[in-house]
């Protein structure tokens, strides 16, 4: 369980995630990094789900971006197709929030590539809390990074599977 929020505001794209790793009802780590920047392609991504699954998906996404010359839309669709149809990948349980300068998507193992309405994405156990907070905060003067951090902190106050050790990546 985790909380990831992706915010797009004023030509800045930020993905933030909490640091809590839980096994059942036990916190086993509080400082994990669940967000990543793919430097070569100016893409940021965050995951909610199993750590091993997420690492596999990050690697696959990076490979798809390389194959499709940095086209995030095409890479996301190809990753979702592989995820849904590959015998090994379809067992992975995770969600990804990914964004570049032009697009933001939620990618799921059921083959979904969803482009959100608005400029905020929230996924994971506290995703809806972070999404709601992010949408309200978008109306003010805060930067994308400030909104993302505050949205995670709001989710951490509500969701027991989310903590306030926030990690951020931005483009």
Q: Please give the chain's pLDDT, 171 residues, in tens.
A: 789 999 999 999 999 999 998 888 899 999 988 999 987 889 999 999 877 777 888 888 999 999 999 999 999 999 988 888 876 666 667 789 999 999 999 998 778 899 999 999 999 999 999 999 999 999 999 999 999 999 999 999 999 999 999 999 999
Give the pLDDT confidence score for residue 44 in this predicted structure. 97
pLDDT at 146: 98
Strand order in the sheet with 104-108: 35-38, 43-49, 94-99, 104-108, 113-114
What is residue 142's predicted lDDT score, i.e. its pLDDT?
Answer: 98
Alpha-helix residue ranges (DSSP H) falling in the chain = 51-67, 72-85, 127-137, 144-158
Number of domains making up the chain: 1
Place of tokens 């149809």: 85
Q: Which of 58, 42, 27 is nearest to 165 (CA)?
A: 27
Q: Quick check: is 2 catalytic?
A: yes
Place of tokens 């964004």: 99
80 closest CA partner among 95, 67, 66, 68: 95
Q: What pLDDT, on the 0 to 100 scale, is given for residue 11?
A: 93
The CA-based angle 61-168-71, given to 5 degrees, is 30
Q: Which tokens belong to 31?
A: 């400082």
Q: Nearest 5°: phi and psi at 67?
A: -65, -35
CATH number (domain holding residue 76) = 3.60.20.10
- Domain range for residue 62? 3-170
Single out the residue of 104, 110, 55, 61 nearest to residue 81, CA to CA. Answer: 110
Alpha helices in 7-126 (DSSP H): 51-67, 72-85
pLDDT number for residue 89: 67
What local confidence, expressed as pLDDT, does residue 109 receive? 75
pLDDT at residue number 99: 97
The pLDDT value recorded for residue 91 is 67
pLDDT score for 88 = 66
Tokens of 109: 């193992």
């Amino acid at each position: 369980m985790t909380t990831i929020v992706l915010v797009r505001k004023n030509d800045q794209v930020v993905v933030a995630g909490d640091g809590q790793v839980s096994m059942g009802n036990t916190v086993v780590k509080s400082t994990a990094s669940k967000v990543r920047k793919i430097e070569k392609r100016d893409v940021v991504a965050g995951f909610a789900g199993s750590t091993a699954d997420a690492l596999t998906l990050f690697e696959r996404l990076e490979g798809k971006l390389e194959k499709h010359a940095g086209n995030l839309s095409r890479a996301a669709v190809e990753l979702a197709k592989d995820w849904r149809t590959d015998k090994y990948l379809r067992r992975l349980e995770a969600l990804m929030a990914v964004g570049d300068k032009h697009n933001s998507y939620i990618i799921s193992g059921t083959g979904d590539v969803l482009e959100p309405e608005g400029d905020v994405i929230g996924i994971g156990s506290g995703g809806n809390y972070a999404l709601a907070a992010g949408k309200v905060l978008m109306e003010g003067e805060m930067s994308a990074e400030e909104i993302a951090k505050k949205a995670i902190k709001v989710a951490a106050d509500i969701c027991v599977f989310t903590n306030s050790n926030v990690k951020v990546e931005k483009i």
